[in-house]
Every structure is written in C-alpha cells, then in structure tokens.
Amino acid sequence: MSTHPDFQSFVPYINNLEDMKQRLQHVEDFQQTIQCMTQNQDHLPGGGDPHNFRLRLEEVDRLYDIRVFNNPTTHYKVFLGRVSYNNTHIFVQMCVKHCFNGFYCQCGIPSGFIYLSCNANNFFQVAVEEDFYNRDVMFESLCNDNYIMNHYYIIPRPMTNMKYISSKMPTLTFLTHIAINKYRKTLDLSLLPTILLNSVTDYNKISDAAAHYDRSLDIGKEWA
C-alpha cells in the first residue's frame, strides 16, 4: 500500500500513509466495533451500505485533522478527512475510545463512531466543531477544491461531541434565523425578502442536519 497520489495533509506532523498508520494503529481492526452512519441514513455513492464502510488510510486524499489523546485508562483517536470512494469522494469523521477492557466501554456501548457525508458544506457545518478543529484551514481547503460553501453557522447544540469541548452560545448574527427556524411550521416563509429567505433556507438545512447528527450519535454515551 502507498500514499494516495493526490494526498494533501493539513496536519504539520503527518506527511504520508505511514505517518497516519502510526497515529491510528490497528484502524482496520477496531472499525468493526463502532457504529457508522450517514446523514439521514442515505446510501453511499454507488449504492454502498454505510454499515459496511471501512476507513482505509491509503484512500485518504485530504487529511484535515488526526489526533490521539491518552490518559491512564483510555486512549482517544480522532480522524477528520476525505477519502476516494467509487470514483467520487466521501468526508469522514471518526472518533474512537479505546479502553483497557477492549474497544467497548464497560457498559457495553460501542466506544466510538464514524460519520460519513458526501456533502462538503453539511459535513463542515455539522461535524467540524469550532472549538476543536481548525475550521479556517479546512474551510480554505474546501474552497480550493471548488466546493460551494455557505457562511459559518453556529448551530445551537444540546450537547457537544466530546466532553472536553466547551459548548458555544449562538452568535447574534443568526438570532433571526434561529427564531424563524423555531416557528417555521407556522410561518409563511414566502413573505420574506429573497435574500433572507435563501439564507434562512440554508440555515434550516444545516440545523436539521445537525439535529440528525446529534441524535444518530447518541451523544454523551460514547464519550462520557
């Protein structure tokens, strides 16, 4: 196996396949113990089943982040990148907690997740926590790869993906969007000015994706 020919890393200490393998040891082995899902449980390109997806590091062509955290009892592995899949690309977020009792927590709950998306903007807005990942670097990379990206949306979240990430209150910029989103089922959105309507529509899509993301991952259990 060799590094993807179009590989680009935005992590200073990761330059090739071997560097990734050293940071994510046994990645092929522990994936069978963690849940894998896509936005709204859609099939992957080519009709692939997300539950059968396996992250193969030689297929990674964009590496946005990769980290390993250790404490006396637990190891945390985090991956954020893009992979080649069926002649297209999929964005992948993988978070794994490895206890000394194996790749399952003592309570029997799978110790991590893989989240997949074919939509660059949704993936960026939903999965890329602003307090943890370098959003500016990833945003610039996605734009350079000719993805159409929306504004930065700070979506109100009930909880964060990992307990060591602090919650953020929504900025004043989107208070109008938040209010409209809350009452959108009873409002006639067609009465809004076109510019505001388009912006609110984009915001609602991201908000729905964020809510699905939070529910799907059953946040709080894997990282408690």
The pLDDT tens digits for 153-208 are: 555 554 444 333 333 444 556 678 778 878 888 888 888 888 888 878 777 777 77
- Predicted confidence at residue 101, as pLDDT, reads 55
- Asked whether residue 159 is assigned to any structural domain, the reply reads yes
- Predicted confidence at residue 6, as pLDDT, reads 95
- Predicted confidence at residue 166, as pLDDT, reads 33
**CB contact at 8 A, 21 and 27:** yes
Give, for 33, the enclosing helix (H) or strand (E): none
Instruction: Kindly tell me the burial class for residue 120, based on how many C-beta atoms sit within 10 Å of its own C-beta (0-12, 13-18, 19 or more).
Output: buried
Separation of CA 134 from chain center: 13
Low-confidence ranges of the chain (pLDDT < 50): 103-110, 158-170, 219-224
- Predicted confidence at residue 175, as pLDDT, reads 75
- Asked whether residue 154 is assigned to any structural domain, the reply reads yes
- Predicted confidence at residue 178, as pLDDT, reads 77
- Predicted confidence at residue 21, as pLDDT, reads 92
Q: Which of 116, 117, 80 is nearest to 95 (CA)?
A: 80
Residues facing 44 on adjacent strands: 48
- Predicted confidence at residue 141, as pLDDT, reads 94
- Quote the tokens at residue 135: 């959003």
- Quote the tokens at residue 218: 């059953």
- Asked whether residue 107 is assigned to any structural domain, the reply reads yes
- Predicted confidence at residue 194, as pLDDT, reads 87
- Predicted confidence at residue 164, as pLDDT, reads 30
Instruction: Count other C-beta atoms under 10 Å from residue 117's C-beta.
Output: 23
Amino acid making up residue 102:
G
- Predicted confidence at residue 68, as pLDDT, reads 84
- Predicted confidence at residue 156, as pLDDT, reads 52
Strand order in the sheet with 74-85: 8-9, 60-70, 74-85, 88-99, 112-117, 35-38
- Predicted confidence at residue 43, as pLDDT, reads 66
- Asked whether residue 168 is assigned to any structural domain, the reply reads yes
- Asked whether residue 1 is assigned to any structural domain, the reply reads no
Q: What is the rounded CA–CA span in Å between residue 15 and residue 213?
A: 30
- Asked whether residue 77 is assigned to any structural domain, the reply reads yes
- Asked whether residue 54 is assigned to any structural domain, the reply reads yes
Amino acid making up residue 176:
T
Domain count, the chain: 1
- Asked whether residue 224 is assigned to any structural domain, the reply reads no
- Predicted confidence at residue 182, as pLDDT, reads 81
For 40: left if phi > 0, alpha if psi spans -120 to 50, otherwise beta; the answer is left
Q: Give the domain range for residue 186.
A: 8-217
